[in-house]
A = this chain, B = another copy of it.
Amino acid sequence: MRIGELSERTGTPRRLLRYYEEQGLLAADRAPNGYRDYPEGCVDRVLQIRGLLASGLPTRIIKQILPCINDPRAIHVSDPTPETIATLEDERRRMTDRIECLLRSRDAISNYLEAVRRAQRPTAAR
């Protein structure tokens, strides 16, 4: 698929798809005319990237994480230097922190909304 379709299906500006490629997060081969040609799987991949970016991870880290997600079960034990492993462990910890922070805050919002709801519908269907 070409960049326009990928853009539409992922809700991502073309500009950013090119940027992700430049950052090494996304690969596309090229049609003879130079147009990018994306395989189907890119849709999910782009959504992953956007999700992680929205969660505060920089492209540099996402680049290291993506292979772990994509390799469908088949780990290439080829590359992982002890250094890479350390980075991954580090980043996993950071992600756990984020998750906990978000969970706490989300629950607080839920409680708040719930309380407001109760206060607004004072002693209704009870």
Contact = CB atoms under 8 A, between A and B. Distances in A.
Give the interface size bracket for A toward B: 35 or more
A86 to B, nearest CB: 10
A25 to B, nearest CB: 13
A99 B106 CA distance: 10
Nearest to A91: B109
Contacts of A16: none
Given A65-B105, A68-B112, A95-B102, 18 more contacts: A51-B97, A52-B101, A54-B56, A54-B97, A54-B98, A55-B101, A65-B108, A65-B109, A68-B109, A69-B105, A71-B112, A85-B116, A88-B112, A91-B109, A92-B109, A92-B110, A99-B106, A102-B102
